């Protein structure tokens, strides 16, 4: 059985790594790793491959940055000849980034079976590019692996056939469970006893200069009491400099840092007093680690982190962000539980399903490129 895995952007890497490892333990499975090149900086991509012990990609499509249409269309155009040549039994796509939907679409048109890991999540907010990517990918996937039961309900409501959907748990937590002991060895020696850890990169938070300034003002205010560590995504760094917010102009307790590698960031999360984010993955990781998380968004595609975990949605509401943060820093924290099947074994369950699902299309169909 030949399986092609597609990764492209930072949050894909920690999801694909455990699945590749689990499939590697099955006899008769050959795996090919395709990187679309959506993320290309060393600290957004290469360092993750090393730390996650992933093999180097067999093929890199090197699409780089661009508008959504440019990036998606480049991935589609460059992936089609590759997948036609590889003729895999399955293509596995991860998460909700442009690389996910673009390559799933190529496979659907070529009748190459495609499996979506982290299926079924919905924010019900179609202004988010990721929501469009999730909806489309799930409609055209042949196997859908959900991290939590809400995913199954969403897919059922959208008419996805039940037999395609498998509740397997959260593969991102597999990686966390495996690497947490190693991450703890990476804790910086001079780390303060208490600190707030921040990540922000969504267009809704960083593309509007006034809003971004007010968020940074809140962080500046908090940092007068508790140090704030803010590893900055390249997109956010660009927007900050366009908005005239320079690292030097912030007070020294607000530390504007480069994007952190996986192990270093996990270490920082595991000891944080509170985390402020707009990332999907970090909402899940903080829930697993039982660290309070404030999400600066109106909605989340990961509602289980709110209903069961340590996550609180603060919306686009600066006074609420301040109040919630003050409460957390005063020790008023929400108690959380780890959702079912977030147990470090999700990838093994995926490997079981995949290896028992022979491709359902005649191989000759995987050649209809013209
Ligand atoms: C993408 C995903 C988002 C995910 C995020 C994690 C989509 C629609 N969005 O958003 O879901 O949470 O990755 O990081 O796929 N850039 C660099 N170096 C890089 C990569 C990006 O400098 O290695 C800069 C470029 O200026 C680029 C911008 O970041 O234009 C945005 O990158 P892009 O991949 O388009 O989207 P993200 O915002 O990273």
- In this predicted model, what pLDDT tens digit does every residue of 155-194 receive, in sequence order? 999 999 999 999 999 999 999 999 999 999 999 998 999 9
44 lines ligand 1 (CB under 6 A): yes
DSSP for residue 344: S
CA of 40 to the centre of ligand 1 (A): 10
Return the number of other C-beta atoms located less than 10 Å from residue 293's C-beta.
Answer: 29
Secondary structure (H, E, C), 172-202: HHHHHHHHHHHHHCCCCCCCCCCCEEECCCC
Residue that has been written with the tokens 């760094």 in this structure: 237
Whole-Å CA distances, 98 to 33, 45, 147? 17, 16, 20
Closest CA to 76 of 59, 98, 47, 43: 98
38 lines ligand 1 (CB under 6 A): yes
Residues of the chain with pLDDT > 90, as a percent, come to: 93
Choose the residue to mutate in 7, 8, 9, 43 for probing ligand 1, maximizing ligand atoms within 8 Å of C-beta: 9
- Of all helices (H) and strands (E), which one includes residue 94? strand 90-94
pLDDT, residue 369, reads 47
What are the residues facing 275 on neighbouring strands?
A: 197, 293
Q: Do residues 272 and 195 touch, judged by C-beta distance below 8 A?
A: yes
CA of 129 to the centre of ligand 1 (A): 12
What does DSSP say about strands 143-146 and 114-117: parallel, antiparallel, or unpaired?
A: parallel
What does DSSP say about strands 196-198 and 274-277: parallel, antiparallel, or unpaired?
A: parallel
- Please provide the average confidence, as pLDDT, over all residues in the chain: 95
Secondary structure (H, E, C), 240-278: HHHCCCCHHHCCCCEEEECCCCHHHHHHHHHHCCEEEEC
Residue nearest to atom 29 of ligand 1 (CA): 235
Mean pLDDT of all residues in 221-248: 91
pLDDT, residue 155, reads 98
Tokens of 367: 């050649």
Mean pLDDT of all residues in 247-276: 90
Alpha carbon distance 27, 355 (integer Å): 10
Alpha carbon distance 299, 179 (integer Å): 29
Nearest atom (ligand 1) to Cα of 11 = 6
234 lines ligand 1 (CB under 6 A): yes
More confident residue, 362 or 254: 254
Tokens of 184: 């703890």
pLDDT, residue 250, reads 61
Residue that has been written with the tokens 């959504």 in this structure: 68
Q: Do residues 141 and 114 touch, judged by C-beta distance below 8 A?
A: yes
Give the three-class secondary structure for 57: coil
Judge whether 153 counts as a catalytic residue: no
CA of 8 to the centre of ligand 1 (A): 10
- Of all helices (H) and strands (E), which one includes residue 136? helix 129-140
Q: Label residue 367 by pLDDT band (50, 70, 90).
A: very low
Give the three-class secondary structure for 339: coil
Tokens of 198: 């921040």
Task: Report the phi/psi class of residue 183: left, alpha or beta, with left for phi > 0 and alpha for psi in -120 to 50.
Answer: alpha
129 lines ligand 1 (CB under 6 A): yes
Q: Label residue 42 by pLDDT band (50, 70, 90).
A: very high
9 lines ligand 1 (CB under 6 A): yes
Give the three-class secondary structure for 40: coil
More confident residue, 369 or 162: 162
Whole-Å CA distances, 236 to 203, 208, 240? 9, 11, 6
CA of 1 to the centre of ligand 1 (A): 32
Among 35, 39, 116, 201, the one annotated catalytic: 201
| pLDDT tens-digit map of 319-349 | 999 999 999 999 999 889 999 999 999 999 9
């Amino acid at each position: 059985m030949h399986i092609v895995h597609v990764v492209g952007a930072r949050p894909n890497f920690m999801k694909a790594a455990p699945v590749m490892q689990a499939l590697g333990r099955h006899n008769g499975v050959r795996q090919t790793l395709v990187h679309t090149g959506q993320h290309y900086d060393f600290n957004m991509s290469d360092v993750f491959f090393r730390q996650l012990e992933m093999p180097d990609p067999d093929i890199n499509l090197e699409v780089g940055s661009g508008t959504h249409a440019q990036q998606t269309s480049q991935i589609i155009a460059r992936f089609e000849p590759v997948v036609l040549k590889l003729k895999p039994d399955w293509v596995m796509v991860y998460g909700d980034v442009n690389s996910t939907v673009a390559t799933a679409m190529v496979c659907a048109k070529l009748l190459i079976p495609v499996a979506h890991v982290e299926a079924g999540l919905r924010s019900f907010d179609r202004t988010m590019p990721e929501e469009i990517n999730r909806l489309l990918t799930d409609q055209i996937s042949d196997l859908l692996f959900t991290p939590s039961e809400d995913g199954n309900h969403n897919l059922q409501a959208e008419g996805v056939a039940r037999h395609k959907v498998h509740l397997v748990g959260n593969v991102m937590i597999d990686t966390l469970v495996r690497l947490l002991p190693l991450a703890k060895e990476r804790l910086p020696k001079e780390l303060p006893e208490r600190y707030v850890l921040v990540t922000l990169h969504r267009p809704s938070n960083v593309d509007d200069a006034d809003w971004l300034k007010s968020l940074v003002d809140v962080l500046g205010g908090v940092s007068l009491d508790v140090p704030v560590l803010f590893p900055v995504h390249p997109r956010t760094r660009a927007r900050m400099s366009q908005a005239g917010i320079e690292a030097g102009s912030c007070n020294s307790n607000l530390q504007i840092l480069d994007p952190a590698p996986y192990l270093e960031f996990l270490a920082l999360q595991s000891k944080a007093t509170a985390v402020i984010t707009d990332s999907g993955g970090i909402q899940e990781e903080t829930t697993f680690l039982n660290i309070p998380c404030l999400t600066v968004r109106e909605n989340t595609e990961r509602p289980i982190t709110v209903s069961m975990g340590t996550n609180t949605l603060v919306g686009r509401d600066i006074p609420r962000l301040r109040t919630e943060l003050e409460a957390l820093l005063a020790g008023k924290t929400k108690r959380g539980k780890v959702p079912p099947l977030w147990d470090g074994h999700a990838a093994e369950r995926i490997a079981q399903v995949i290896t028992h699902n022979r491709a359902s299309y005649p191989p000759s169909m995987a050649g209809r490129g013209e």
